[in-house]
Amino acid sequence: MAEPAARLYLVTPVLTDAAFAPHLAEACASGSVAAVLLRLGSADERTLINHVKALGPSVQDHGAALIVAVEGEADLATIAARGGADGVHLQGNPASARELRERLKADRAVGAGGIRTKDEAMTLGEAGVDYLLFGEPRPDGSVPALDTVVERAAWWAEIFETPCVAYAPDLAAIPALVATRAEFIALGDAVWSHEGGPVKAVAAAVEAIGDEEEAG
């Protein structure tokens, strides 16, 4: 059987406790999710580490990688290492990306989002990140136009070897993003707010990716 055209990368809401664990477990239970970006609200380091430890098994026990991002200032390398996460995610800062790459070596993944320009994307790629995320929600909750995300992801996937993640604001956007040849399709509210729950949302996403692969 051919490898899927893309794999799923889920993005959580900003979390301030471990109450979201059952939703994570539901979404990841099928084994179809490659990674989860765990977005944590601002807190002290010990609290953040404890959140990662509490939420991590719901993701990692189902074979998905746990990637951590924190709102505001935080020592991501320490939080990931002590919490047992598989990687970290930062917002468009090449200097920070280089520092994290140096500190984490090859032990954990380093990803980047919040990318505004093609030049910034290339600079982050040169900084040694393991993937770039295009199109994720802005701090105010809005998302870039789908056409813009499609163009950016297609440009990156065609030219560069570093994998990219393309954010789908809804399930209907998946086919257009899969067609860019992005390695991962990211989903957020489209999974967590799905009327059928996370399990049905993930199943629908996998089906959409498979349909696009067959069409291609």
Which domains are present in the chain?
7-215 (3.20.20.70)
- Separation CA 54–CA 48 (nearest Å): 10
Q: What is the pLDDT of residues 38-72, one digit of tens each?
A: 999 999 999 999 999 999 999 999 999 999 999 98
Please list, residue by residue across 55-79, b when 16 or more beta carbons sit within 10 angstroms of its beta carbon and e when fewer do. Answer: bbebbbebebbbbbbbeeebbbbeb
The tokens of 119 are what? Answer: 């030049």
Q: What residues contact 165, with CB distance under 8 A and at least 6 apart? A: 9, 111, 131, 132, 133, 134, 182, 183, 184, 185, 186
Its pTM surpasses 0.85: yes
pLDDT tens sequence across 116-154: 999 999 999 999 999 999 999 887 888 999 999 999 999
Rounded to the nearest integer, the mean pLDDT of the chain is 94
Distance CA 208, CA 182 (A): 14
Joined together, the tokens standing for residue 150 give 């499609």
Q: What is the distance between the alpha carbons of residues 11 and 47, in angstroms, rounded to a whole number?
A: 20
Alpha carbon 61 to its chain centroid, in Å, reads 18
Q: Is 199 exposed, middle or buried (0-12, 13-18, 19+ CB in 10 A)?
A: middle
The mean pLDDT value for 11-22 works out to 96
Q: Tell me, rounded to whole angstroms, the distance of Cα 90 from its chain centroid.
A: 11
Residue 156 in tokens: 């990156």
